[in-house]
Structure 1
Amino acid sequence: MNNNALHTAEARIREQIAAYCLSNEVPGFVAGVYRAGEQIVVAHGTANVATGAPMRADTGFLFGSVTKVLTTTLVLQQVERGLLDLDAPVVRYLPEFALTAPGAAEKILVRHLISHTNGIDADLFFPDAKGRDSLKTYVEGLARNCGVLFEPGEQLSYSNGGMIVAGRLLEVVTGLSFPDLLERDVYAPVGMTDSSTSAERAILRSTAIGHFPDPETMAAEPTGMFTLPDTWGPAGGTPIGTVADLLAFGRTHLAGGVSPSGTRVLSAGSTALMQQVSHDMATPNVPPMGLGWVRYPFGDTIVLAMSGASPGGVSILCVVPEHDLVFTAFGNTAGAIMLHDQILRWLLSEHLGVRIPTLINESAQDIDLTPYVGTYRSDQLRVEVGVVDGQLEERVTYEPADASQERIFTEFAGGTTAAPPQRYVPIRPGLFAPAGYPFETFDGYLRLLLVSFHDIRDGRARFRNGGGRLTRRA
């Protein structure tokens, strides 16, 4: 990218951000692009509507689940140092790791934790604990509260629980707390000089907060919860940093594990292993998974990506090795994910000349919908699937395990935990698109909105996949 091309991209991205934020009640947005030695950062709007603080290029924000790639990097570092074996059972290092299903935990390998193939049914398990023993508290809680969705390695389901167990594993084998390890072995060698692991540290510099739409006016209102509990640190609950810091991390993975300052953070072999396919569900709404990275195919071009939700905010990190490009962004309402997708698609198609193929051409007729009808469940979630007017209709219900879980999840969701019924049109057997969206919506990152059904036995699907997460037929 020459300076002129960089200037053109910066101007275009600035226009996209301003237009989208104005029409969609997004208070603030910050984005960065690195390509071939050049880098831009664009900031727009307000970081916090309560204070009026501006969103600046160096404003910090919650990484959310982008943290999962950092956690995976830490795991691979310990593998290189001989402290962990990817193909060893987790219980070798963490004997207290257990689930409610007898013998289930013993089958889970270290590799399964970071490839989202572990089957731990804990996606909405939010134990409330702070401090040094918070991850220990989380693992103890799994044994009392959480079972399994599938046999390890059998399916792919986005796993917060797996990453948190990986974080506790790191604590045990290194003797350091997860925040201390993250700062020592990722932040410092990568050069993430403005990143922290707590609200207490973040408050000392410019930091954005999330916002939720007011139910009546739809105006953005500040979140009442800044971070999730410390128990969710390795999955994305607490790490906070800037666009420049995430660009440096992305560049480290572009450069075979060497940071922009020249420090080796990860071996070339481990960096490549993270980018290789570890599991493929062979459905467009669940892109193939590497270790930590999700591999989004845009035609022949692979985008390594991870997005991260925080209370009222959403981040994204994308690395495109083939084109020496890193893109990262944060918007302080959940709807900013649409803008992430818009900018990513513009960068690929207009800036890099990547042809983005159409994923879905048309809906399908005469598909038997009966295999998909029924009730599907996962941790504290029930999905009722029925047929209305030739379409599937889903009703999603949150069923909190206790008052503490309900309080945390309700705050994380901005007070709204019930969704109206959603209709889906059939695309092909086992694949459905939400009704009312133009099909080109799903060509990019938002292919996650599609719903798929898997493992049909005796005429009934065993699993439903929405947003990369599995629920199992009750």
Structure 2
Amino acid sequence: MDNTALHTVEAQIRDQAAAYCESGKVPGYVAGVHHAGQQTVVAHGVANAATGAPMLDDTGFLFGSVTKVLTTTLVLRQVDRGLLDLDTPVVTYLPGFALDSPGAADKILVRHLISHTNGIDADLYFPDAKGRDALKTYVDGLASGCGTLFEPGEQLSYSNGGMIVAGRLLEVVTGLPFPDLLAREIYASVGMTHSSTSAEQAILRSTAVGHFLDPETMSARPTNMFTLPDTWGPAGGTPIGTVADLLAFGRTHLAGGVSPSGTRVLSAESTALMRQVSYDMGTPNTPPLGLGWVLYPFGDTTVLAMSGASPGGVSILCVVPEHDLVFAAYGNQPGAIMLHDQLLRWLLSEHLGVPIPRLVTEPERDVDLTPYVGTYRSNQLRVDVSVVDGQLEERTTYEPADGSQERIFTEFAGGMTSGPPQRYVPIRPGLFAPAGYPLETFDGYLRLLLVSYHDIRDGQARFRNAGGRLTRRA
């Protein structure tokens, strides 16, 4: 990429970030692009609305679920060393691993943990523990509080629990606490010089905090909870770093596992394995999954991606191998995912010249809605689906298991424990779009807003899929 193209990218990010921030949608935003040997990072707005601290090029932020790609890389490093085998049952390494369904954990292989095909029903399980035994506490608690959504390998459901079990597995086979392993084998090897594994480390440098929209003042207020508990570290609860650090990690995957400094972080074979399709649900709202990476198809171009929610913020990391490009960004309000999507689509279509085909065409009329009506559940989540005025209406309710988890989830969600009813229009049998959105909204990253239903038996759908997460008919 020549300097003229770099300046165009920089100007586009600056203009779009400024417009988005100044419209009041997000207090601060930072984004970076590495393409063909050139790199730029742009920041705008404030990192903390309470203090007025500016968002800077090197401001740190919570990675959120982008951490899952780092955790998967750590697992594959141990596979490269012969310490782990992807097709070995997890209980071989973690004999105490169990779920509340007898024998269910015994069927889960190591690869199921990092391909989101494990079926562990623990997506909103938030045990509050700190320190060296946090992940052990999490895994021990699964036996009495969490069951399964499906048989391992039978379906795909985005899995925080799978990644946390993988983190505990890493601790056992390496003898190192997960934060130490992450710092030593990813941060140090990749050259992520400004990344940390805890709030205590991050407070020593410029770090952004998340925000939520205050319904009374309609202004952004800082979150009351900076990070999720230590138990969520491997799924994205605690790691913190900068856009430049994420770009370095993305470049490592572009280069077949070799970091920008020349360090071999992962074998070429394992790096390639992470990009291969592990499971494909065959529905537009859930792209195929590799190991760690979500494989977004934009026509013939595949974008390796992962976004990451944190309390009041959202990050994203995208790698485009065919075009030698990495895009990373963070906004400190949940709605920043819209700006992530806008910039990714601009980079693909305008900067790289990648055609972005329509993912969803005109809605189909006369779709029978009765197979989808009912109540669907997963860990502490209930979704009631009915038909209203020829559309599906969903009412989602959080049902906390105890006071501690209610407190954590409520803070993570900015005070909400249930959402307003959402109407969906049928696109085709089994696929629905939220009412009121132009259909081109779903051509990019925001295809995750679509909802699908699967495995119809005796005239009733068995699973509902929203954002890649399954709920099962009650």
Answer whether TM exceeds 0.5 for this pair. Answer: yes
Residue in 2 that maps onto 1:428: 428
Separation in structure 2 between the aligned mates of residue 436 and residue 318 of structure 1, nearest angstrom: 28
The one-letter amino acid of 2:76's match is L
1:360 shift after superposition: 1.0
Structure 1 match to 2:315: 315
Distance in 2 separating the partners of 1:218 and 1:323: 41
Letter in 1 for 2:222: P
What CA deviation, in whole Å up to 9, does each residue of 1:202-248 have, x standing for no partner? 00000000000001222000000000000000000000000000000
Q: Is the 8 A contact 2:24 2:219 kept in 1?
A: no
Which residue matches 1:440? 440
The SS at the match of 2:335 is: helix
Q: Which amino acid aligns with 2:186?
A: V
1:214 corresponding residue in structure 2: 214
Residue in 2 that maps onto 1:232: 232
Query: Helix, strand or coil for the counterpart of 2:245?
Result: helix
Q: Distance in 2 between matches of 1:8 and 1:310?
A: 30
Amino acid at match of 1:419: G
Counterpart CA distance in 2 for 1:173 and 1:3 is 47
Q: TM-score, normalised by structure 1?
A: 1.00
Identity %: 84
Residue correspondence of structure 1 range 137-152 to structure 2 within 5 A: 137-152=137-152
Query: In 2, Cα distance between the equivalents of 1:222 and 1:458?
Result: 48
Q: Distance in 2 between matches of 1:261 and 1:218?
A: 46
CA distance in 2, matches of 1:300, 1:246: 25
- Once the two structures are TM-superposed, the CA of residue 24 in structure 1 deviates from its matched residue by 3.7
Per the alignment, residue 462 of structure 2 pairs with: 462
Matches within 5 A, 1:15-414: 15-414=15-414
- Give the letter for the 1:423 counterpart: R
Return 5+ residue gaps in structure 1 as ranges. Answer: none
How many residues matched?
A: 474
Tell me, which stretches of 5 or more residues in structure 2 are unaligned? Answer: none
SS where residue 395 of structure 2 aligns? strand
Over aligned residues, Cα RMSD in angstroms? 0.5
Instruction: State the TM-score, normalized to the length of structure 2.
Output: 1.00
Give the Cα separation in 1 of the matches to 2:8 and 2:368.
50
8-17 vs 286-295, greater mean Cα deviation: 8-17
Could you list the per-position Cα deviations for residues 57-103 of structure 1 after superposition, in whole angstroms to 9, with x for gaps in the alignment?
00000000000000000000000111100000000000000000111
Q: 1:228-272 CA distances to partner (integer Å, 9 max, x unpaired)?
A: 000000000000000000000000000000000000000000000
Tell me, in whole angstroms, the C-alpha distance in 1 between the residues paired with 2:420 and 2:229.
Answer: 28
Cα drift, residue 334 of structure 1: 0.2
Distance 1:231 1:131 in 2: 9
Deviations 1:298-319 (A, max 9, x none): 0100000000000000000000
Query: Per-residue displacement from partner, 1:124-183 (whole Å, max 9, x unpaired)?
Result: 000000000000000011001000000000000000000000000000000000000001
Take 1:301 and 1:332, find their aligned partners in 2: how far apart are those partners?
29
Amino acid across the alignment from 1:456:
I
Give the letter for the 1:411 counterpart.
E
Instruction: State the one-letter code of the partner of 2:151.
Output: E
Letter in 2 for 1:242: T
The answer to whether the 8 A contact 2:34-2:40 is kept is yes
Q: Secondary structure at the match of 1:334?
A: coil
Q: Structure 1 residues 212-221 or 62-71, which shifts more?
A: 212-221
Instruction: Report SS of the residue matched to 2:338.
Output: helix
Residue type of the alignment partner of 2:458 = D
| Aligned-partner residue type, residue 47 of structure 1 | A
Q: What is the CA distance between 1:416 and its match in structure 2?
A: 1.4
- Secondary structure, aligned partner of 1:39: strand
* Amino acid paired to 1:80: D
CA distance, structure 2, for counterparts of residue 358 and residue 188 of structure 1: 41
Give distance in 2, aligned partners of 1:247 and 1:129: 31
Q: Distance in 2 between matches of 1:462 and 1:186?
A: 40
**2:382/2:396 contact within 8 Å kept:** yes
Alpha-carbon distance between aligned partners in 1 of 2:125 and 2:26, rounded to the nearest angstrom: 29
- TM-aligned CA deviation for residue 25 of structure 1: 2.9
Tell me, in whole angstroms, the C-alpha distance in 2 between the residues paired with 1:210 and 1:20. 16
